[in-house]
Amino acid sequence: MENPLVSGAELGRAFKAGKTDPVAALEFYLARAASSESVFITLTPERARSEAKAAAERWRRGQPLGPLDGVPIAWKDLYDVKGTITTAGAAVFANHPPATADAKLVEIAAKAGLVCIGKTNTVEFAYSGIGINPHFGTPRNPYDKHVARVPGGSSSGSAVAVAAGLVPFAMGTDTAGSVRVPAAFNGLVGFKSSSHHYSRDGVFPLSRTLDSIGPLTHSVEDCILLDALFGGKNGPSRLLPADLAQQRFVVDDVILRDARIEAGVRANLERAVDGLRRRGARVENRRVNALHEVFMLIERFGWLAAPEAVAIHETLLASKDAERMDPRVRKRLEGARNFRASDYVNLLWARENLIPRIRQELNGAVLVLPTVGHVAPELAPLERDMDLFFKTNLATLRLTMVGSFLDMPGVALPTGVDPTGMPTSLLLSVPSGEDERLLAIALAASEPS
C-alpha cells in the first residue's frame, strides 16, 4: 500500500489483481488510525484482523463475497458495534455497557466481508455542524497544515478518517447536514440518503423525524457500491452514470448570489455547472420557492429536530450529569426546552405540504446548491467564543438544513479549493425517495469533463 487515499472500490480491485491483500491493507490503515489524534474513539483491531484474515482467504480461493470484501470501514460512534461502547461522543456515556449486537448496517457490512476498523469521533449527541468535541478531542481538518480548522460535524471523525487516509470510507449520520458538511470541509463525497432509505436499527438517534444515514467516501462509485450492499445487492455495481444530455439542473440564483456565499465557493460551483453544460446538461437559473419557505419556517418556528432532541435527552438534562456535557450542546438543548408544541406541529404540517411541493417545483430537475456557503473556519475562535460558535454553526448548516427538512437525498461533490487552499463543494439534491436516481446523476457529474 502506497496511496492512503485509495477508494474502497479501488482497493477491492487491487485485491482482485493480487496487488495487495486484506491483511496487508488492514495493517496499513490500522497503523495510521492508531497514530491519529482525536479521529477515532474506539479501534477494534482484534475483530478487524479476524475479518481481514477471513477475507484474504476468500480472495485467495477466488471466492470473494463481493467487490468490497476485505475493505476496511469505520463507523461513526452512534452505530452499535458488538463489544464496544456506543458513546455518541458523550463523556456521560463512556461507562455504558458495551453493545450486545451490531447495528443492522454494521451486520450487513460484516456479512459482505467489510472489515470493521473502529468507531469514529462525533460531536456530542451529533448536535452540531462544526465538529468540536471537548471530551474526545476535535479532529483537525487535514487540509490546513499550519492553522487548526474545524472538521465539520457532526460526522467529524468519519470525514477526517477518510480525508487523512486512515480508512477508505466511513459511515456517518445526517440530521441537518452532518454528512454533507464534513464532506464539503474535507474535500470528500458525502451521500445523505432519504430518511428511511437505510435501516437505522442500532443507531443512536438525534431526531427520529429527520435522521438519515450516509457514507463519506473518495468517490461516488463507493457510495453506489455501499448503497447496493445495504439494499441487499452485494455485487458489482450495475448503476450506470446518467446521460447528462437528458438531465436538467436547477441553480437557485437567489441563494447563489447571497452575500453569505463566499466568492471561492461561488466561483467553483459556477465552473462545475459550466462543465455540466458543456457535457449537454440543461441548466436553469431560477428561484425555488419551496426552499425559501423552509428558510422562513425555520426563522419563525425554529428547527424541527430541536424538540425531538430534547425529548431524547430530557432525563439527562435534569440530572447532575448535565454538568458533564459539552456546554455548547447543553445550551442548545436547554434553549429548546421551551419549544412550543404548536410550533412543532406547525413545522410538521408545513413539511407534509412542502415535500410534494419541491417535487412539483423541480419537475424532474436536480437541485444544485453550494453545500456550505463558506470553507472550514479556524477552530480556536469558535472554541473561545460561544456566541460566535452558535452564529457559525447556523451559517454552516443553513443550506443543508433545507434538504433535511424536505427529506431530500443529497450528494456533496468536491469542486476544488478556494484561494486559501481549502475545499469547496456543491450539493446535488432530488425529491425524497429518488436516491438511486441521484447516485446515477452524481456519478455522471463527478466524471471528468
Give start and end residues of each alpha helix (H) in 196-304.
220-230, 253-256, 263-278, 289-301
What is the amino acid identity at position 430? V
Q: What's the CA gap between 379 and 138, in Å, rounded?
A: 9
Q: How far apart are CA 235 and CA 67, in angstroms?
A: 6
* H or E element that contains 41: strand 40-43
Rounded Cα distance, 77 and 125, in Å? 10
From 414, 154, 437, 150, select the one nearest 265 (Cα to Cα): 414
Write out the three cell numbers for 33. 488510525
Separation of alpha carbons 361 and 297, rounded Å: 18
233 a catalytic residue: no
154 noted as active-site residue: yes
State residue 284 phi and psi, 5-degree precision: -110, 135
d(CA 428, CA 416): 16
Long-range contact set of residues 274-279: C-beta below 8 Å, sequence gap at least 24: 275/449, 276/244, 276/247, 276/249, 276/445, 278/449, 279/244, 279/245, 279/449
| 274: CB partners within 8 A, 6+ apart | none
At residue 276's C-alpha, the angle toward residues 270 and 282, to 5°, is 100
Active-site option among 7, 36, 128, 178: 178
The residue whose grid cell reads 482525536 is 38
Q: Across the strands, what pairs with 191? A: 411
Q: Which of 76, 219, 404, 432 is catalytic?
A: 76
- Do 412 and 425 form a contact (C-beta atoms < 8 A)? yes
Active site residue 156: no
Maximum Cα–Cα distance for the chain, whole Å?
62
Structural contact between residues 113 and 69, judged by C-beta atoms closer than 8 angstroms? yes
Buried b / exposed e along 39-76 (16+ C-beta atoms within 10 A): bbbbbbeebbbebbebbbebbeeeebbbbbbbbbbbbb
Contact 367, 429 (CB under 8 A): yes
d(CA 144, CA 257): 27
> What is d(CA 389, CA 271) in angstroms, rounded to the nearest whole number?
31
User: So which residues are the catalytic ones?
Assistant: 76, 154, 178
